[in-house]
Amino acid sequence: MTTLECNPPVERMLSDLDLDSFRPSRSTAAARRRKDRLMRALFTATFALALIPLVSLLWTTLVHGIGRLNLGFLTHNMTGVIGGNPTAAGGYGGVLHAIIGTLEITFGAMAISIPIGVMCAVYLIEYARDGSRLATTIRLLVDVMSGIPSIVAGLFALSLFSMIFGPGTFNGVEGSVALALLMIPTVCKSSEEMLKVVPDALREASLALGVTKQRTITKVVLRTALPGIVSGSILAIARVIGETAPLLMTAGYVVTTNVNLFSGQMTTLPVYVYQEYSKLSANCAPSAGDMCVPTIPMERAWSAALVLIVIVLILNLIGRIVARVCAVHAER
């Protein structure tokens, strides 16, 4: 028997109810359809408008940077480059040292900022009492750090290493510390939001089975929120990988390849682009003839910018793959 058959009064009430009175009139339905089409067109136009600067940026960088981008450009540094003249190897310099410096300094910043940001978020969500003075202070400091200019982070790292190791200290770790200061707020806030999304029922079920709080956090909470934490970390990386000012002050600039993150100056792609663009043009030796390219600095700058965009794209793809794999494992 159905529910209505078991409740005759309810069935009579529904039969007496005039459902036609709730149906919209023809004019009202037509007005709704017009509003729906209008909003759909408005949102589509807004989306297309937002794509214009992005597509323009990518197209301009691709057009200006693809001409100089080749295997020699990716496998050589700036050693032996004088003006617009070709080097002894036949090339016009490259970005190998800048690629290595960018990856090492960025990974160093990740190693510093991601653990600190995630642990800060875990404390705020899992341990701090609502409205506690320490939690309020931490959230305030995180909000303040998220608005710090990048050059201030570079000044802090420069001052810190100058006090510890003496003035004039330049190395990749110093640049990693400067970038980590910019990454921590993004990682912390994104991880905090992801931990809030984890249902309390999962925590309660784990604790009810006798699992300790520490193991519940590491095996249940963090594992469930891991895809979101990875996405937040990728956003933080994209936020700092193009910084120039703090790395000019901390990591410096060098034309040779330095793979030691803890000693010596290192060049990153943003700094390389800045240095090449500031030259505008190159001088040519009289004996160079047609082999000299006066516009080579601008060509190298555009090509390095294109390489940087490709690296950011690859890191985003890797992050999405990791987040998807983590999501699959979390569901299992």
Length of the chain: 332
Backbone angles phi, psi at 229, to 5 degrees: -65, -40
Which pLDDT belongs to residue 291?
A: 77
Note whether 97 and 258 are within 8 A (CB).
yes
Q: What does pLDDT average to over the chain?
A: 86
Q: Is 149 exposed, middle or buried (0-12, 13-18, 19+ CB in 10 A)?
A: exposed
Note whether 184 and 117 are within 8 A (CB).
yes
Higher pLDDT, 28 or 104: 104
Mapping DSSP onto H, E and C, the string for the chain reads CCHHHHCHHHHHHHHHCCHHHHCCCHHHHHHHHHHHHHHHHHHHHHHHHHHHHHHHHHHHHHHHHCCCCCHHHHHCCCCCCCCCCCCCCCCCCCCHHHHHHHHHHHHHHHHHHHHHHHHHHHHHHHHCCCCCHHHHHHHHHHHHHHCCCHHHHHHHHHHHHHHHHCCCCCCHHHHHHHHHHHHHHHHHHHHHHHHHHCCHHHHHHHHHCCCCHHHHHHHHHHHHHHHHHHHHHHHHHHHHCCCCHHHHHHCCCCCCCCCCCCCCCCCCHHHHHHHHHHHCCCCCCCCCHHHCCCCHHHHHHHHHHHHHHHHHHHHHHHHHHHHHHHHHHHHC
Domain boundaries, the chain: 71-280+292-326
Which pLDDT belongs to residue 60?
A: 93
The tens digit of pLDDT for each residue in 22-56 reads: 677 777 778 888 899 999 999 999 999 999 999 99
Which pLDDT belongs to residue 184?
A: 93
If pLDDT is split at 50, 70 and 90, which confidence band does 2 have? very low
The tens digit of pLDDT for each residue in 65-101 reads: 998 888 888 988 888 888 777 777 767 888 999 999 9
Of the listed ranges 114-123, 184-193, 281-290, 305-314, the least confidently predicted one is 281-290
Conformational region of residue 323, where left means phi above 0, alpha means psi within -120 to 50, and beta covers everything else = alpha
Q: Is residue 161's pLDDT more than 60?
A: yes
The tens digit of pLDDT for each residue in 112-130 reads: 999 999 999 999 998 886 6
How far separated are the first and last CA of the chain, in Å rounded?
39
Which pLDDT belongs to residue 4?
A: 46
If pLDDT is split at 50, 70 and 90, which confidence band does 1 have? very low
In the chain, the percentage of residues whose pLDDT exceeds 70 is: 88
What CATH fold (topology level) applies to the domain 71-280+292-326?
Answer: MetI-like fold (1.10.3720)
CA atoms within 13 A on the CB side of 137: 3
Q: Is 317 exposed, middle or buried (0-12, 13-18, 19+ CB in 10 A)?
A: exposed
The structure's pTM equals: 0.83
Q: Is residue 110's pLDDT more than 60?
A: yes
Q: Considering Cα of 55, then 269, then 87, then 296, what sign does the dihedral take? A: positive
Of the listed ranges 18-27, 132-141, 173-182, the least confidently predicted one is 18-27
If pLDDT is split at 50, 70 and 90, which confidence band does 3 have? very low
Of the listed ranges 96-105, 187-196, 312-321, the least confidently predicted one is 312-321
